[in-house]
Amino acid sequence: MSSDLKREFPLSDRTVPRMLTRQAQVHGARTLFCAGTTVWSFEDARAAAAGYAEMLASAGVQRGDRVALICGNRAEFLGLFLGCGWLGAVSVPINTASRGFQLHHILSNSGAIILVIEAACLPALEGIDLANTAVQRVWVIGEAAGWDPLPAPGPPVPSAAGLGPGDLLTILYTSGTTGMSKGVCCPHAQFFAWAYYVGLQLGLVDGDVLHTTLPLFHVNALGCVFQALLHGGSLVVEPRFSVSRFWERLIASEATVTYLLGAMVPMLLSQPVSAAETAHRVRIALAPGVPAGLQTVFSARSDMALIDGYGATESNAVIGCDSATRRDGFMGRLLEDFEGRVVDENDAEVPDGEAGELVLRAAEPFAFAAGYFGMPDKTVEAWRNLWLHTGDRVVRSPDGYFRFVDRMKDAIRRRGENISSYEVEQVLLSHPAVETVAVYAVPSELAEDEVMASVVIKSGGSLAAAELIAFCDGKMSSFAVPRYVAFVDELPRTESGKIKKFILREQGISAGCWDRLA
């Protein structure tokens, strides 16, 4: 790993155009990015950014305009993302599973004037009234009758003049808590920081081959692009995570570093032991959220070090460790240039060993997100008292190690995806037979959460659980559809009428509830 990255890239150079240009000059024809049959060198990536920027500019996209992307892990996604950054426009990557209420909200809230969508994702637009959004044109990646194809990149153009490290690069939508999904405003320099601080944990060195199966519309995989770019490595991006083919693809890529989510580790451990598990070249994997005890088991079986850590779309990789300082069950310690406290409901710091909310600050300019797009009230709430309030409940040990406890907010995390209970509830409430509903997390057999709904049916009405789940089809992301449904006469409430979800979570999966996987 280059320990001189901060010197090599002073603050003014922490923009997409300057990072691409400098690294193209240094590494030229070396491979930077592989996705399917597409292979880009460092120079190809710079040229792609400038070419996509010209294409967007020719279509009337100007600095600050938003361009929405619904696309899997393919070169066109990265070309458009970097092209927006080169031009000074703002990309809006959208989860390919987004549907209905959530998708319409994202398109409306972001004010995107162009939507670029992969042909395979076109069913997501069913039921979406684009006339009620700012979208002026839709371009399709791939063949789709009746739709305009994505134009080819044009001749490279100069990057936006005066583009600074604090200018907005992308808006990444993360789950709401008790409200709508929020668009996190990520500046250019935030991605320099993702590359730098994750690189410290992984010990990245020139020539490393990074391998990810995670989607480019999430900050984890986007951060990998900049890790490869700034550390002189190459990134191999797979279309998706496959339990049965994971080791095969890891070996084929000749990767030295990879990335996992907590839920993936028990999935891989559930497979029969095979020689492929140690036939790879990977020395280390970033794997936040691995269930306690499984880090050591997985490392022994796969011959690769697993390290935990903490980072949010709003923040950066602020807590972590390396292979020498990792501790099973702990996320790690605060990294350089960050402050962190564990506080109570009044933002007063609690003693070590006592659980509270994690709040954070960064010393480096623009290392954190700038707020929530079009939601000034939510921005003020999250950044109150000049600290980023993560909504995560943690415990700090006397020697500075942090342990994750749970989420303080009403959010659900399933298979690496954040789910807004509010958005799921809005879909269920739109069924004519539903009087009221509460959606909440219950434990999964693997890791993280499953989604459960307790439903009160209107007087005189009737409804089957399977019918209610079928009603969800196309109206929400597939990963957000409840697995469990329980019909109840009433929901527990406070004196002011708010639903006591903590009671429902404590009750868990009742004996008579319906399981769509059973």
pLDDT digits (tens, 9 = 90+) for 415-453: 778 787 878 888 999 999 998 899 999 988 776 789 999
Domains of the chain, earliest start first: 5-240 (3.40.50.980), 334-407 (2.30.38.10), 411-515 (3.30.300.30)
User: In 126-216, which ranges are E strands?
Assistant: 137-141, 148-149, 168-174, 182-187, 209-212
Q: What is the pLDDT of residues 230-244, one digit of tens each?
A: 999 999 999 999 999
Here the tokens at position 370 are 């700038």
Q: Is 136 helix (H, G, I), strand (E, B) or coil?
A: coil
Q: Cα(first)–Cα(last) distance of the chain, in Å?
A: 48
What pLDDT shows up at residue 371?
97
**Radius of gyration (Cα) for the chain, nearest Å?**
23
pLDDT digits (tens, 9 = 90+) for 500-515: 787 888 888 988 899 9
Spatial contact of 72 and 215, defined as CB atoms under 8 Å apart: yes
Q: Please list the alpha-helical segments (H only) found in 66-131.
A: 75-87, 100-110
Check the CA dihedral 172-424-452-271 and report its sign. negative
| Position 67, amino acid | V
Distance CA 43, CA 378 (A): 40
Query: Which pLDDT score is estimated for 514?
Result: 95
3-state secondary structure of 306: strand
pLDDT, mean of residues 76-87: 98
Running DSSP on this structure, what letter comes out for residue 76? H
Q: Is residue 354 within 8 Å of 342, Cβ to Cβ?
A: yes
If pLDDT is split at 50, 70 and 90, which confidence band does 3 have?
A: low
* Crossing angle of helices 75-87 and 42-58, rounded to 10°: 70
Q: Provide mean pLDDT across the span 380-404.
A: 93
| pLDDT at residue 1, as a whole number | 39
Separation CA 377–CA 366 (nearest Å): 20
Half-sphere exposure of 484 (CA within 13 A, CB side): 22
Handedness of CA 256, 262, 264, 270 (dihedral sign): positive
Token pair belonging to 395: 């415990």
CA distances to 109, 260, 358 from 265, rounded to whole Å, are 35, 7, 25
Q: What is the structure's pLDDT at 497?
A: 56
CB 308 within 8 A of CB 323: no
Q: What CA dihedral angle connects 333, 338, 341 and 342, to 10 degrees? A: -50
Evaluate if residue 136 carries a pLDDT over 70: yes
* Integer Cα distance of 89 and 61 in angstroms: 7
Residue 376 corresponds to which amino acid? P
For position 506, what pLDDT does the model report? Answer: 82
Q: How far apart are CA 329 and CA 19, in angstroms?
A: 36
Dihedral angle over CA of 420, 423, 425, 429, nearest 10: 180
The string of pLDDT tens digits covering residues 30-68 is 999 999 999 999 999 999 999 999 999 999 999 999 999
